[in-house]
């Protein structure tokens, strides 16, 4: 279900992204520059706006710059192929951006004295990082791990909707969204662990787990 959403959302975005990618390449902009600039934009949105309580502005700025994550890969493919460093940079910058988003949310909730919300944001930060780490480690060991109900896009959407609703005065929305996200992120870690376990068993069936 999550995969179907991602694939169809991505297909829809492609028509918008490709002309922008072509124009940027013509202007001499590199995919790696877009990767870094997108991350800086997310940092500004999250830390400069979200952490100070400008939740709607923060979420909108983060959304615009998070979407540039679709642009860098498209540019790389258009300009003759992806690079190993580009793939490494893209994934590493995703972690920086996600940390800023959940760090900003935790900081703002702390300023509001919402300790339950802070705890939820920290669980989301840790579990979200673990979701990505498990995949990176599996891929490093030659396996695949493209599974799970709460991949990055879903995680950002959930915190974004919560942030915007709270910014629009639906006060408990962000805290509820964060606890929901904490649960689905932990579940996703389990899904990925199980997926890797099954692959490892198939690759080395005679070895002890």
Ligand X SMILES: CCCCCCCC/C=C\CCCCCCCC(=O)OC[C@H](COP(=O)(O)O[C@@H]1[C@H](O)[C@H](OP(=O)(O)O)[C@@H](O)[C@H](O)[C@H]1O)OC(=O)CCCCCCC/C=C\CCCCCCCC
Interface residues with ligand X (CB under 6 A) are 6, 9-10, 13, 46, 50, 55, 58-59, 62-63, 66-67, 69-70, 73, 90-91, 94, 101, 104-105, 131-132, 135, 151-153, 156-157, 159-161, 163-164
**Is 30 marked as a binding-site residue?**
no
Specify burial of residue 21 (Cβ count, 10 A radius: 0-12, 13-18, 19+): buried
Query: Out of ligand L45E5XJ5, Mg ion, ligand X, none, which partner does residue 154 contact, by CB within 5 to 8 A per kind?
Result: none
**Is 206 marked as a binding-site residue?**
no
Residues 48-77 that bind ligand L45E5XJ5 (CB under 6 A): 69-70, 72-74, 76
The distance of closest approach from Cβ of residue 196 to ligand L45E5XJ5 in the complex, given in angstroms and rounded to an integer, is 19
The pair phi, psi for residue 112, each rounded to 5°, is -90, 0
The structure tokens listed for 12 are 């829809």
Phi-psi region of 169 (alpha: psi -120 to 50; beta: other; left: phi over 0): left
**Is 84 marked as a binding-site residue?**
no
- Measured at the alpha carbon of residue 100, what is the angle toward residues 106 and 183, in degrees to the nearest 5? 55
The distance of closest approach from Cβ of residue 19 to ligand L45E5XJ5 in the complex, given in angstroms and rounded to an integer, is 15
The helix (H) or strand (E) run that includes residue 9 is helix 2-26
Q: Which is nearer to ligand X, 140 or 205 (CB)?
A: 140
The structure tokens listed for 14 are 């492609």
Residues annotated as catalytic are 94
């Amino acid at each position: 279900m999550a995969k179907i959403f991602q694939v169809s959302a991505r297909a829809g975005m492609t028509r918008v992204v490709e002309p922008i990618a072509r124009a940027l390449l013509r202007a001499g902009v590199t995919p790696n520059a877009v990767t870094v600039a997108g991350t800086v934009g997310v940092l500004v949105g999250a830390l400069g706006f979200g952490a100070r309580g400008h939740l709607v502005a923060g979420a909108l700025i983060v959304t615009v710059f998070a979407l540039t994550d679709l642009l860098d890969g498209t540019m790389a493919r258009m300009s003759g192929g992806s690079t190993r460093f580009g793939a490494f940079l893209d994934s590493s910058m995703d972690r920086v951006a996600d940390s800023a988003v959940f760090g900003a949310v935790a900081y703002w909730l702390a300023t509001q004295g919402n300790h339950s919300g802070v705890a939820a944001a920290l669980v989301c930060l840790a579990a979200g990082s673990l979701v990505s780490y498990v995949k990176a480690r599996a891929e490093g060991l030659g396996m695949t791990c493209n599974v799970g109900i709460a991949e990055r896009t879903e995680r950002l959407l959930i915190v974004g909707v919560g942030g915007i609703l709270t910014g629009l005065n639906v006060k408990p929305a962000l805290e509820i969204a964060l606890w929901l996200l904490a649960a689905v992120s932990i579940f996703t870690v389990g899904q990925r662990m199980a997926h890797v376990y099954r692959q490892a068993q198939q690759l080395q069936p005679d070895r002890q787990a």
